A and B are shown apart, each in its own frame.
Chain A
Amino acid sequence: MEVPILKQGEILIATVQAALTDSDLMQLRRALVEKVAKARARAIIIDLTAMDVMDSFASRTVREVAQMIRLRGAETVIVGIQPDVAFAMVQLGLSMGGVTTALDLEEGLEYLHRKFKTIL
């Protein structure tokens, strides 16, 4: 299932709607990295609220997206990780080191807006 990517000002928002297969994840990575330049976005938000399982491939892909996006000159915020998922990830040693996280979409947007304001 393809993940819709919405543009909201200078921010791209990718909302995961259901559990993703590995190929869905790779497709999402490709789409985000392409669109970030095309849309001249300064940041992307990946909303994982609907993900109730994060395996090692998923966490690695998300981390890679964040690193690639940084190389493309933008920032990534991961939002909506469920409490159970968060703890399971940590127990499996799947850290999101270096990636900004926020509680939900609202928090993520607020974080980015505040950040943009201080930079401008």
Chain B
Amino acid sequence: MAQPLSFDTVHTGGPTTTTRSHSELTAEVLHELVEHLRQNRTQLREEWARRITEARLLTAMTKEEIFAEATSVYDNYVEALATGTFEALQAYSRNLSERIIPRGVETHEVVGIVLLLRDVLARSLFSKYQADFTKLDRILDAYEPAANRIANTVAVGFVQERERVIRQQQEAIRELSTPVLQVRERLLILPIIGVIDPQRARQLTEQLLRGIRTNRAKVVVIDITGVAAMDASVANHLVQTVEASRLLGATVIVTGLSPEIAQTLVNIGVDLGKMNTVGDLQGGIEQAERLLGYKVVPQAEAN
């Protein structure tokens, strides 16, 4: 650092101290702090990596990887302290999250390692300035807010990245969620798998009604074997879908109702006269074929 350390003169209580503004003081203190962190880089970094391993954090990563990441986090950390800008750190923590989230690193681990670094650095400050309590006090005044902000930035960056991944996956699930398939002329099947939330239910209905139109379907088999449970509002939506399909002239057969869903439907008081239900998909398709006038016979019998 080109700038000489004028620090020792500051806290001796000379007249210069009183004329300096608070922020200038903080800047100077920070400067000294950064200097200290740079000088002891190797030792502090190793100490930190050791503590991470000890605390059994980042178990998904090897020792070498931890050390490499620790080094970059350390440098970015010091950089953020020195410049007071957090953009670089933000970008780095996003990038780090992108790399480590797929490997199963948890939020508590990321927060844990940042807090560990904070602890390691604070301890080194304590031991350096233990003789001079006033100065330690001032150093901590400068260090604590910045360190908190850094911890915050990294944690938020990690959580945001996770949320982004979750959103992306939700989107992907939604897209591949529900095919409306034609199995015969005029016969559609709609296999539903997984959890149905109101949004997905709405999308299902839309796709189905449109499918009925474009395929000129007369019978639709909705198979919900893959749906373990649904709440009352979604069950209601299912009933409405059946009713709306009828308005388009199509008969709906619902198959694969689980006991729980049957219970829900009874609880919301579905008019069972309107619901056409068959035990399993096979039975549903067979009934649909009967409705459409198909008869499927084995070749041996047909000849």
Q: Give residues 198-249 of B contacting A (CB, 8 Å).
A: 205-206, 209-210, 212-213, 216, 218, 240-241, 243-249
Whether A86 pairs with B244 at a CB distance below 8 angstroms is yes
A70 to B181, CA, bound (A): 37
Q: How many interface residues does chain A have, given as a range? A: 10 to 19
Q: Which of B210, B240, B250 is within 8 Å of A103, CB to CB?
A: B250
A91 to B249, CA, bound (A): 17
Q: Does A90 contact B (CB under 8 A)?
A: yes
Whether B206 pairs with A103 at a CB distance below 8 angstroms is no
Whether B247 pairs with A89 at a CB distance below 8 angstroms is yes
Number of A-B contacts (CB under 8 A): 52
A90 to B201, CA, bound (A): 14
Q: Which of A84, A85, A90, A102 is within 8 Å of B249, CB to CB?
A: A102
Q: Which of A81, A104, A107, A108 is within 8 Å of B247, CB to CB?
A: A81
Which B residues touch A108, using CB under 8 A? 249
A98 to chain B, nearest CB (A): 11
Which A residues touch B245, using CB under 8 A? 86
Whether A101 pairs with B244 at a CB distance below 8 angstroms is no
B269 to chain A, nearest CB (A): 14
Count of B residues near A, CB < 8 Å? 18
Q: Which of B210, B216, B243, B246 is within 8 Å of A83, CB to CB?
A: B210
Which A residues touch B210, using CB under 8 A? 83
A96 to chain B, nearest CB (A): 6
Q: Does A25 contact B (CB under 8 A)?
A: no
Whether B248 pairs with A103 at a CB distance below 8 angstroms is yes
Whether A83 pairs with B240 at a CB distance below 8 angstroms is no
A101 to B250, CA, bound (A): 8
Known: A89-B244, A90-B240, A91-B240. A83 touches B249 (CB 8 A): no
Most buried by A among B212, B213, B247, B249: B247
Which B residues touch A102, using CB under 8 A? 249
Q: Which of A78, A83, A84, A85 is within 8 Å of B212, CB to CB?
A: A83
Q: Does A12 contact B (CB under 8 A)?
A: no
Which chain B residue lies CB-closest to A108? B249
Q: Give residues 41-87 of A contacting B (CB, 8 Å).
A: 78-79, 81, 83-87
Whether A101 pairs with B240 at a CB distance below 8 angstroms is no
Q: List 21 A-B contacts (CB under 8 A).
A: A78-B247, A81-B248, A83-B206, A83-B212, A83-B244, A85-B247, A86-B247, A86-B248, A87-B205, A89-B247, A90-B241, A90-B243, A90-B244, A90-B247, A101-B246, A101-B248, A103-B218, A103-B248, A103-B249, A104-B249, A107-B216
Q: Which residues of A line the B interface, CB within 8 A?
A: 78-79, 81, 83-87, 89-91, 95-96, 101-104, 107-108
Q: Assuming A89-B247, A90-B241, what are 8 further A-B pairs, CB within 8 angstroms?
A: A86-B209, A87-B206, A91-B240, A96-B247, A101-B248, A102-B249, A103-B249, A103-B250
In order of increasing CB-CB distance, the 10 nearest A-B pairs are: A83-B209, A102-B249, A86-B247, A86-B244, A103-B249, A90-B240, A90-B243, A87-B244, A90-B244, A81-B247
